[in-house]
């Protein structure tokens, strides 16, 4: 995964995998403040506050509303586990 500048991210709920793919950046609401994750981020784990997770890839932006979430970032990418998550809709700028 180290030879690309894309971040592998998967957003999983107990019902199904909501999103999986290579993206540029993810912005998530951590309990100790909002944070952004790019490729090659240092390993990091946090619980998420209730709020929006934004996934940015090129010109596409996808926003998911997340409740009861947890994020795990390691060199394989980022995994967001959420008890409840749903998408607002896909926006192209």
Partner 1 sequence: MASLKDMRTQIGSVKATQKITKAMQMVAAAKLKRAQDSAENARPYAKRMAAVIANLARGITGDSAPQMLVGNGSTTHQLVVVATADRGLAGGFNSNIVRAAREFIAQQTAAGNKVRLITIGRKGRDQLKRQFGDKIVESFDLSGTKVLTIDVVAPIADLIAREFSEGRADVVTLFYSRFQSVIAQVPSAKRLIPADVDLSALEDTHGAVYEYEPSEEELLETLLPRNLSVQLLASLLENNAGFYASQMSAMDNATRNAGEMINAMTLKYNRKRQAQITTELIEIIAGAEAL
From the list 21-29, 55-63, 71-79, the region that binds partner 1 by CB under 8 A is: 71-79
Give the contact letters, 18-47, x = binds to partner 1 (CB under 8 A), - = no: ------------xxx---------xxxxxx
d(CA 83, CA 38): 24
- Which of 34, 36, 40, 84: binder of partner 1 (CB under 8 A)? 84
Decide the pairing of beta strands 77-92 and 7-12: parallel
**Helix, strand, coil: what percent of the chain each, to 5?**
0, 70, 30
Binding site for partner 1 (CB under 8 A): 10, 12-17, 30-32, 42-47, 68, 70, 72, 74-76, 79, 81, 83-84
């Amino acid at each position: 995964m180290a030879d690309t500048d894309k971040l592998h991210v998967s957003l999983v709920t107990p019902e199904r995998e909501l999103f999986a793919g290579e993206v540029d950046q993810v912005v998530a609401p951590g309990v100790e403040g909002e944070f952004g994750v790019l490729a090659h981020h240092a390993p990091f784990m946090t619980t998420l506050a209730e709020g929006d997770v934004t996934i940015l890839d090129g010109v596409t932006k996808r926003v998911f509303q997340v409740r009861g979430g947890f994020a795990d970032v390691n060199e394989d990418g980022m995994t967001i586990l959420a008890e409840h998550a749903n998408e607002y809709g896909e926006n192209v700028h």
